[in-house]
Structure 1
Amino acid sequence: MNLPNKLTILRVIMIPFFVFFLLSGVGGSASKWIALVIFAAASITDTLDGYIARRDNLITDFGKFMDPLADKLLVCSALICFVELDKLPAWMVIIIIAREFIISGFRLVASDNGIVIAASWWGKSKTISQMIMIILLIADIPALSVLNTVLIWVALILTVVSLIDYLVKNKNVLSMQN
């Protein structure tokens, strides 16, 4: 197993620890900071595994499948925790998670037809905004509450816009299914 795939697996392994520290409060006031460090480290492995895979030509079918899945698991875990912690309304989380399912399904159909749907600028912007939003919501710094609110709405809007962008650009994928 190559290094990028090991980093992807490490990201998946980090998720339960992230959730545990975010929700349990076991470490007292330090628990949110432990969760933040775990989330940030897991996010960095996402950037790192893709960079190494492209640089060293280590792209594998396993990586193509697991890397986006690991990303979705990490982000969706954080968002679901935020509903539990009353930091995000459930309807927002449902919209964000629904987008991920729709795009994953779209990519699966496209893949079955020999089409690769690359990440768009909108999709990358959505991911970056979600990661920053998640980090700030975990940190929960009262002086940044207005910024948090703005980032929540930016992430939600970019989620919807990126979904529409994917659907419009790849509408031919839907016509392939009878």
Structure 2
Amino acid sequence: MKQLMTWPNILTGMRFLMIPLLVFLMTLEQTVFIAFLAWSVFALAAFTDWLDGYLARKYHSESILGKLMDPLADKLLVTAALIMLIPLGRVPAWVCLIIIGREIFITGIRGLAASRGIVVAADNLGKIKSNFQYYGVGLLLFPLNLLPIPFQYESGMVLLYISVVLSVWSAVNYTYTLRNIFVEAS
């Protein structure tokens, strides 16, 4: 039995703990300081997603728990940030709906696979999609007047729109790859 308290699993747990802090900061009046704090929490949490995967691969400490919890922490982080950006007028609700709908769908597929003893780790397309989401949301969270970043909002939205396309593509890919699970379930 592999040890559960590995650095990658601890980092994933820390990402879960940062989500309520991010949500809290985004409920406050978005002064430059508060917005920068929210962005910093998001950026640190996004970095832990990369770091836990790197450490798990480097030290061969990948675990079933990590393969299940890491994508869930990723989904919750991005979902929380997206939902909190809607009332700030920075993200259209339909973009969030597609991204969150895909995440719920993939979580359902993973649950169905798990009920058959199959652990579905994130694929490369899902990882690419996550990177576009992290960078897009990061640009949208970063205080607009703090640094002179040309086309900051527009760049964030372009990255998010690309992630919407990748989200749909990834969902189709997961569905096709795991199509046998659907046949067995019917």
Partner of 2:14: 10
Deviation at 1:114, TM superposition (A): 2.9
Alignment match of 2:163 (pick from 149, 155, 158): 155
Contact 1:23–1:85 under 8 Å retained in 2: no
Aligned to 2:84: 81
TM-score (norm 2): 0.86
Other-structure match for 1:124: 127
Contact 1:32 1:139 survives alignment (8 Å) = yes
How many residue pairs were aligned?
177
**Paired residue for 2:181, among 160, 173, 176?**
173
Summarize the Cα distance change of 1:169–1:61 in structure 2 as closer, same or farther, 3 Å threshold: closer
Structure 1: runs of 5 or more not aligned? none
Q: Deviations over 1:41-72 (max 9, x none)?
A: 11111111122122223233332322121111
Between 46-55 and 31-40, the greater mean CA deviation after superposition: 46-55
Whole-angstrom distance in 1 between the partners of 2:121 and 2:15: 22
CA distance in 2, matches of 1:66, 1:117: 11
For residues 42 and 95 of structure 2, the distance between their equivalents in structure 1, rounded to whole angstroms, comes to: 20
Picking from 17, 40, 51, the partner of 1:37 is 40
Q: Give ranges in structure 2 of 5+ residues lacking alignment.
A: none
Counterpart of 1:50 in structure 2 is 53
1:107 is aligned to: 110
1:68 to 36, 59, 71: 71
Query: Structure 2 CA distance, aligned partners of 1:61 and 1:101?
Result: 20
Runs of 4+ in 1 over 4 A off after TM superposition: none
Q: Secondary structure at the match of 1:176?
A: helix
Aligned to 2:138: 135
Q: CA 1:115/1:134 → structure 2, altered by over 3 Å: closer, same or farther?
A: same
Q: What is the SS of the residue equivalent to 2:185?
A: coil
Residues 54-104 of structure 1: per-residue CA shift (max 9 Å, x gap): 222323333232212111110100010011212112122111111011111
Shift of 1:7: 1.0
Q: Percent identity over the alignment?
A: 39
Change (3 A) 1:39 1:150: same
Q: Secondary structure at the match of 2:61?
A: coil
